[in-house]
Chains A and B, each alone.
Chain A
Amino acid sequence: MSSQDILLEVKNLHTGFNIDGRVHHAVKDVSFSVKPKEVVCIVGESGCGKSVMSLSVMNLLPKHNGKIDKGEILFEGRDLAPLSEKEMNAIRGKDISMIFQEPMTALNPVLTIGYQLDEVLINHTTISKEEIRRKSVSLLKQVGISRADQIVNEYPHQLSGGMRQRVMIAIAIACQPKLLIADEPTTALDVTVQAQILELIGKIQEEVGMAVLLITHDLGVVAEMADRVVVMYAGQVVEETDVDRLFYEPKHPYTKALLHSIPKMDEKRDVLNTIEGIVPSLKNMPEKGCRFADRCPAAMDVCREVDPLLGETDKGHAVRCFLYEESFPQNSDKRAEVQ
């Protein structure tokens, strides 16, 4: 694959937090890539490291204790991890933008919607003030806000949750970014509003021609939006494949269990499948072996002794599990990279 086919490539990313003098890795050896105009979903439960991963890409980790320890984040072939704040600012909002879960906390409550929209354009373009305001209004119209001329002069608290998320999207797409990172963009919204926002993200993605990295815990959203899916568990990628194979030929026991534990509308079951136990917390990660082994119905002795690797079982389908021989270190061509 030539480098032009890949927009974002995350390679062996390790992001650690310093807690009481010890470094705990919230993201451990995560690798995946996003192609231009592709929608990649990162799915996992709370505490699986999906948000930390996205903050690492944006270089927005909390300065006092969060740090990328190892690995590369290649955006159009350039490593973002060592960039300075100033260099990152030139990329954030222009080439890569982000929308967050809670639109109320992501918008500044004391500035008008118009000001917050203009800000991005002022920072990244050289067009005149009048033109900027005109552009802001047209952006609001593009995200489906009908009274755009008035809304530019209003404040975030005057808008509903769905409208705020639309404003966030307008800000994010202002400079026609190549990559949009959406971290649980619809979790705080009601289902009928969620449907509106998902449709909007899909529409904008086609209009702008950007790639979307969508982070979610909702498998329904994944099925709706994704081209490819990365399943994370306890800071690691456990499975990566296209959306159809994820739902119809899941390989990792965690993915299988996750798919079976959600109640579905179109079927009647008395008992839901469950995954025993809980996601281990950052401080209680198993020292060695597979991080899912304690909850895994198919766990073997080797699972608790050796770290499985993410190995490609079929083309475009990678899994981190000893049920598949590609995960054994001696069989994986990835071994050299990891060491």
Chain B
Amino acid sequence: MTKETVKSEHLLQVQELKKYYPVRGGFFRRKVGDVKAVDNISLELKRGETFGLVGESGCGKSTAGRTIMRLFKPTGGKILFEGQDITELRGSGLRDLRKDIQMVFQDPYASLNPKMMVGSIVSEPMINYGMGSESKLKDGVMELLKRVGLPEDAYYKYPHEFSGGQRQRIGIARALALKPKLIIADEPVSALDVSVQSQVLNLLKELQEEFQLTLLFIAHDLSVVKHMSDRIGVMYLGNLVEVADGEDLYKDPKHPYTQALISAIPQPDPRNKSERVILSGDVPSPQNPPTGCPFHPRCPKVMPHCSEVKPQLKEVNRDHRAACLLYE
């Protein structure tokens, strides 16, 4: 590998990534259509930054994360990790890649094996990559468990003995075990209570600095994403509709969907009941997306040609891109 020679500014580049799921129907279970879970998204992650991916359920944010991780095979497009094309990697190449990209999952109850001791859960990835036997790794694992805020005796306990927040800490320790360069966190705090959520968010931020991690943070809660991220991408129906610096996105959202999304969040301040943009209807099915701009049936600023032309992501301001015909 040419890891040392290629040291581009971008750790990860995603170019026109597509992930379609076939829909089968009829007597012969023939393919009758596609669910376009991720439709043509492009993004870059700089080293050490946190990129937030936000959107409502069914917008394809989790599929995007898992396809980038290469848990799914992309239907089209390219994924470059440290300048190397990983789209077609298989076998041992893919195995090596996993060492650099790790994932933290949403459900801390389902993502830990209930039959394994916490120590074994965290050391398993290291053993898999030949970093030594469990007994040899024990001190390191203990250290790691302590670092993520678990008590020392956690090593000998089982997942059911821990609360949701502590389990998420175990999941984070496991993701850190191989010292990855990129961590994809898919809704890491949405199953947790607010008081515990803030503990986990703070931990992720600290660890990011300490281990110099790049983070792809996927969540549906815009206020959490904004707190965590340097830059944010907003997804709607498989498309990336806006990408901007977090502060910029909040202060000056360009895409009507982002504007509605921000105004829909109930603010914890009774004196600040601003006028809401309330969208009508629901998110359409990705199997049968609207023509033209995917958001046009719900858009408060819809224009006649929105149903015909599909807008592309374009630079509206410096480092602020939006896919909307208002800015063409």
Contact = CB atoms under 8 A, between A and B. Distances in A.
Interface of A: 45-46, 160-163, 190-196, 198-199, 217-224, 226, 243-244, 246-248, 257-259, 261-266, 268-276, 278-279
Contact of B283 (A190, A223, A269): A190
28 contacts: A163-B282, A190-B56, A190-B220, A190-B283, A192-B56, A192-B279, A193-B282, A195-B266, A199-B278, A217-B193, A217-B194, A243-B270, A244-B271, A247-B268, A247-B270, A248-B271, A261-B198, A262-B198, A263-B201, A263-B224, A263-B226, A265-B250, A266-B250, A269-B227, A270-B205, A274-B199, A275-B195, A275-B198
B205 A223 contact: no
B89 interface: no
Contacts of A248: 271
B196 interface: yes
Interface string B161-195: 00101100000000000000000000000000111
A244 B266 contact: no
Contact of B193 (A199, A263, A279): A279
Given A192-B56, A272-B201, 6 more contacts: A191-B264, A194-B264, A246-B270, A263-B201, A265-B222, A265-B262
A162 B202 contact: no
B143 interface: no
B139 interface: no
A264 B278 contact: no
Nearest to A229: B270
Contact of A220 (B193, B226, B268): B268
B84 interface: no
Interface size class of B (residues with CB under 8 A): 35 or more
A271 B220 contact: no
Interface of B: 56-57, 163, 165-166, 193-199, 201-202, 205, 220-224, 226-227, 247, 250, 260-273, 276, 278-280, 282-283
Contacts of A265: 222-223, 226, 250, 262, 265, 267
B269 A274 contact: no
A247 B269 contact: yes
B270 A278 contact: no
A190 B278 CA distance: 12
Q: Which of A163, A199, A263 has the most CB of B within 10 A?
A: A263
B265 A160 contact: no
A199 B263 CA distance: 13
Contacts of B268: 219-220, 222-223, 247, 259, 262, 264
A272 B204 CA distance: 12
A270 B278 CA distance: 31
A230 B247 CA distance: 33
Contacts, number: 127
B223 A261 contact: no
A248 B262 CA distance: 23
Which 8 residue pairs of A and B lie closest in terms of their CB atoms, listed nearest first?
Answer: A220-B266, A263-B227, A190-B56, A195-B264, A272-B198, A261-B198, A275-B195, A45-B193
A160 B283 CA distance: 9
A274 B202 CA distance: 9
A220 B265 contact: yes
A191 B193 contact: no
Given A217-B193, A263-B223, A278-B196, A162 B282 contact: yes
Contacts of A263: 198, 201, 223-224, 226-227
A224 to B, nearest CB: 4
B260 A262 contact: no
A222 B273 CA distance: 12
Contacts of B202: 271-272, 274
B141 to A, nearest CB: 23
Contacts of B280: 196
Q: Which of A198, A221, A259, A264 has the most CB of B within 10 A?
A: A264
B196 A192 contact: no
A115 B146 CA distance: 57
Contact of B282 (A160, A262, A278): A160
Contacts of A279: 193, 195
Contacts of A193: 56, 282
A276 B165 CA distance: 11
A271 B266 contact: no
A115 to B, nearest CB: 24
A31 to B, nearest CB: 24
Contacts of A218: 266
A274 B198 contact: yes
Nearest to A47: B193
Nearest to A263: B227
Contacts of B271: 244, 247-248
Contacts of A45: 193-195
Contacts of B197: 261
A100 to B, nearest CB: 19
A195 B224 CA distance: 18
B270 A191 contact: no
A246 B269 CA distance: 10
B299 to A, nearest CB: 12
A272 B193 CA distance: 14
B194 A258 contact: yes
Nearest to B59: A190
